[in-house]
Amino acid sequence: MISPWLILSFVALYFAALVIISKITAAKAGNSEYFIGNKQSPWYAVAFGMIGDSLSGVTYISVPGAVGTAKFSYLQLVLGYVIGYWIIGAILLPLYYRMNLTSIYTYLEKRFGIASQRTGAFFFIVSRLLGAAGRLWLAVSVLQIFVFDAMGVPFMLSVAIIIGLMLLYTYRGGIKTLVWTDAFQSAFLLLGVVLSIVAIVSALDISYSQMVSEIIHSNYTQVFFFDPMPKSFFAKQFLAGVFIAVTMTGLDQNMMQKNLSCRSLPEAQKNVYWFSLIVLVVNVLFLSLGALLYIYAEAKGIAMPAKSDALFPTLALNHLGTFAAMVFIIGLTAATFNSADSVLTTLTTSLYIDFFALDKSKESEQKKIVKRHAIHIGFAILLLLVIVLFQVLNNQAVIDTILMLAGYTYGPLLGMFAFGIFSKRKVKDTLVPVLCVIAPAISYALSYWVNTMKPEYLNGYQIGNELILVNGLITYLGLWILSENKLKNDYSKQKKLDRN
């Protein structure tokens, strides 16, 4: 068994490096640096840092583990991501830069009204808070088992220490710091994947050309699936990938805020276009690692764990030696905290701008900074409490359900932004919050009915990731019903004024 003190030493050094980066980048940082990096972020640093932002500790473990049953079908989704990122670069980024936005939900306020802005921001805050808490819970649970339990440190204190460390390098510099800490963490995430592959190849005592041949000729590398009924059908996965990328990146404050810190629109677009290619390569690496894990387990006669998510940690921590265990822990740490630390900054941004409108306040800059710090620390405490609640429930199924339900909130965002961009109609702003609760509820009921209650009605067709498109479409149609022709209405008002 690997020494918990050794693991703790590596994690401590890792956080020390993040704090040093923060000290360098956060010097004399004000609100402009905190929110948008004073619009001086290099595009290549943003693009590289987004690798970790788009992944998480859950992805780090789940994608390789899922290869056993889903094979390489995940690539169908990733190919959709690539198209989605190009849509973001061509349509959404020009809109955000033209309006000079800091919070992207300010667009909803300018297009529909304050209720729509706060609805969009509320869905983002709930989604990201639950998602970040769930992912941190999973990562801290691993560290708790292999490090803190052996030292007699209770779970709540473990979480408090880790969130405290995150506060150390995020609360002052914000985006200006996160651009560089995310790039640093993405490098360790990729290093974790690559070195894990190296460890398995060494354990199997094969060359790298043999490794490639083993992966290609294994039973795990089928990419395309053309049976329209299962969730793995290419068209469903590809289209879902397009809309997941558009919504969970292009309509997500957490993913867009660093893009808005680039020096200009062309640089932000260059960042997104290059990232679309990088994310494809990274996911091929993850899937290849998954195939190798199964090949190694079969070659060594190791029994497969009951849950596929347990395969990577089981082999890395119990079978592949100290080097592989350390690589796994550092990679998991980087994947988890890369996606979690930026959440504190972007949640703060959304509450600061979308709910409290402090960006429009006439208070002094120093008072605004004090309030921003208070919001940032408040979200850190709230994150701690949600993670502790997950631990009290101590039910993996509950975490999975919460993360799944959080995904439903992006459908209304898709519907609202699409209606705002592609329609000129005027919406009844006060009814938008009600619609954005009804649309996910209808989507969930539809998914449950098709997948659970009456699957035979559609010859066994199952709704999968394409549900986000259904959710967005319901929202769009609802907005149409709640709207009126803006041009026609304006013309009627002008005629009445002329008559008077």
pLDDT per position as a tens digit, 213-254: 999 999 999 999 888 877 788 888 899 889 889 998 999 998
- Reported pTM: 0.86
Nearest to 422 by CA among 208, 175, 111: 111
pLDDT at 127: 87
CA–CA gap between residue 450 and residue 255 (Å, rounded): 32
Shared domain for 239 and 210, answered yes or no, is: yes
pLDDT at 438: 95
pLDDT per position as a tens digit, 378-418: 999 999 999 888 888 766 555 556 656 766 888 899 999 99
pLDDT per position as a tens digit, 423-457: 989 999 999 999 999 999 999 888 888 777 665 66
Shared domain for 265 and 395, answered yes or no, is: yes
pLDDT at 37: 80
pLDDT at 492: 52
* Number of other CB atoms surrounding residue 253 within 10 Å: 26
pLDDT at 457: 63
Rounded to the nearest 10 degrees, the angle between the axes of helix 43-54 and helix 321-350 is 110
Q: How many domains does the chain have?
A: 2
Shared domain for 313 and 200, answered yes or no, is: yes
Chain mean pLDDT for the chain: 85
pLDDT per position as a tens digit, 96-138: 999 999 999 999 999 999 999 999 999 999 988 888 888 788 7
Q: Is the pLDDT of residue 328 over 50?
A: yes
pLDDT at 491: 40
CA angle 80, 81, 83 (to 5 degrees): 70
Q: Which tokens go with 82?
A: 């690539």
Shared domain for 354 and 440, answered yes or no, is: no
CATH number at residue 41: 1.20.1730.10
pLDDT at 459: 67
Domain boundary among 407, 439, 470: 407
Percent of the chain with pLDDT over 90: 38
Shared domain for 154 and 229, answered yes or no, is: yes
Higher pLDDT residue, 23 or 82?
82
What is each CA distance from 366 to 306, 349, 371, in whole angstroms? 54, 16, 9
Residue 427's SS3 state is strand
pLDDT at 86: 96
Q: Within 13 Å, how many C-alpha atoms sit on residue 33's CB side? A: 15
Q: How confident is the model at residue 327 (pLDDT cuts 50, 70, 90)?
A: confident
CA–CA gap between residue 286 and residue 391 (Å, rounded): 28
Q: How confident is the model at residue 143 (pLDDT cuts 50, 70, 90)?
A: confident
Burial class (CB in 10 A: 0-12, 13-18, 19+), 131: buried
pLDDT at 40: 87
Shared domain for 500 and 478, answered yes or no, is: yes
Which stretch of 43-52, 145-154, 334-343 has the lowest confidence by average pLDDT? Answer: 334-343
Nearest to 445 by CA among 465, 469, 470: 470
Shared domain for 401 and 429, answered yes or no, is: no
Shared domain for 162 and 293, answered yes or no, is: yes
In a domain, 415, yes or no: no
pLDDT per position as a tens digit, 343-389: 888 999 999 999 999 988 888 888 998 999 899 999 999 999 998 88
Q: Which range marks the domain in which residue 476 is found?
A: 420-500
pLDDT at 178: 85
Q: Which tokens go with 415?
A: 């519907």
Percent of the chain with pLDDT over 70: 90
Shared domain for 430 and 360, answered yes or no, is: no
Q: How confident is the model at residue 494 (pLDDT cuts 50, 70, 90)?
A: very low
